[in-house]
Amino acid sequence: MKFLFSKTFINIASALYIWLIGLTIGALVACGAFSASVIFNANNFGIELSKFQSGILMTQIFLKLNILLIAVSFIITIFEIIALRLSNQTKIIKIILFLSGAISVICILLFSLYYTPFIVEQQTIGHIATQSSKFDAMHKQSEMVANIIFFSLSINLLFRLIYRK
């Protein structure tokens, strides 16, 4: 039990947490920016895909990403609660880190458990369902939530690196 509260254990846990946040940020960029630009422009590479077919491929990528995101949301929740209690940082830094973690978790759960299932359901219905204004609005909202996840994780990562003790 003594090891769990030792300086070495806390440093290792913090390093792994920072690495995991960085990995998740990278996964978001890779899945969103890098994959989307290739998949939705597949015809530039000699592959004919409709926008609907490209959307189905992107959804499969995001379903895989959601597994990582949900696991990370649990880790963020546990780590931020423990860090809030054990950290010796200033109150404002603790608040920023906790809020960025909370915003990340809320947005991850929204993205993974609300927006993605809606998009999958609409794609299952068919091409016509993905042409509706409701689908378009939900898709735009899911993109905004993904951006919020990216920025809140980035804030958490940067503050953890800058103000580590």
Identify whether the C-beta of residue 145 lies closer than 8 Å to the C-beta of residue 107.
yes
Is the pLDDT higher at 89 or at 133? 133
Domain that holds residue 25: 3-162
Name the band, by pLDDT with cuts 50, 70 and 90, for residue 5.
low
Alpha-carbon distances of 159 from 78, 89, 98, 100, 109, rounded to whole Å? 18, 11, 11, 10, 23
Q: How many domains does the chain have?
A: 1
Q: What is the pLDDT of residue 3?
A: 61
Q: What is the pLDDT of residue 123?
A: 95
